[in-house]
A and B are shown apart, each in its own frame.
Chain A
Amino acid sequence: EVQLVESGGGLVQPGRSLRLSCAASGFTFDDYAMHWVRQAPGKGLEWVSGISWNSGSIGYADSVKGRFTISRDNAKNSLYLQMNSLRAEDTALYYCAKEVVTTRYYYYYMDVWGKGTTVTVSS
């Protein structure tokens, strides 16, 4: 069964750091790009960051650029998000998601999502 399991969330004070992890199973992890997507309470989905299969291409939303760092360890089938200088507005449920690109038509989509891990930034 294809599965993504996030961990590492919690309550943290503003300005502090937190590291999220996403454990992947049931598929060949290093064949796929991966993403972090967050959802603030009562709000919509917001793309946070994405990383290619070999870490050669990385992107960040403007709202987290310079504060968050995405990385992956293909040997451990794991995705990470290092979050520094956290702000109240970073409070959200953080999902990791697997990206698929079809080779024939170059369709891009996120086909598998974890259940998320909650980050609360508050003093």
Chain B
Amino acid sequence: SSELTQDPAVSVALGQTVRITCQGDSLRSYYASWYQQKPGQAPVLVIYGKNNRPSGIPDRFSGSSSGNTASLTITGAQAEDEADYYCNSRDSSGNHNWVFGGGTKLTVL
């Protein structure tokens, strides 16, 4: 099965821009989707597809992809963006398999 690799932790100064990356072979076949998870809460979808935001997600969140790497960018990070962020995608190995990245803990300084 495939794997998705994320940096364990990233920090950003309040109001600055931060990029969180996700690498894996499955991303050559499928777009990543990104989820935000705050302590004690279920994950929330923030980006899907090429660069799509569900209703209610601020436009400071954006996504991009190139080759085997997907990125989530937060432009003008806010204190409320401090959370864990996970990427996932379908697994290119077949069946109905999916894979998650290990998650990135974002700290807003």
Contact = CB atoms under 8 A, between A and B. Distances in A.
Contact of A62 (B1, B35, B48, B94): B1
25 contacts: A44-B84, A44-B100, A44-B102, A45-B35, A45-B43, A47-B88, A59-B97, A59-B98, A61-B1, A62-B1, A95-B43, A105-B50, A107-B33, A107-B49, A107-B50, A107-B52, A108-B33, A109-B45, A109-B49, A110-B35, A110-B43, A110-B45, A111-B54, A113-B43, A116-B42
A73 to B, nearest CB: 17
Given A45-B88, A58-B96, 16 more contacts: A33-B96, A35-B98, A44-B84, A44-B86, A44-B100, A44-B102, A45-B100, A47-B97, A47-B100, A58-B95, A95-B43, A108-B33, A109-B48, A109-B49, A111-B48, A116-B42
Interface of A: 33, 35, 37, 44-47, 50-52, 57-62, 95, 100, 102, 105, 107-111, 113-116
Contacts of B42: 95, 113-116
B99 interface: yes
Interface residues of B, number: 31
Interface in B14-67: 30-31, 33, 35, 37, 42-45, 48-50, 52, 54
Interface of B: 1, 30-31, 33, 35, 37, 42-45, 48-50, 52, 54, 84, 86, 88-91, 94-103
Contacts of B94: 59
A46 B33 CA distance: 14
Instruction: Pick from A44, A50, A105 the residue with the most CB of B within 10 Å.
Output: A44
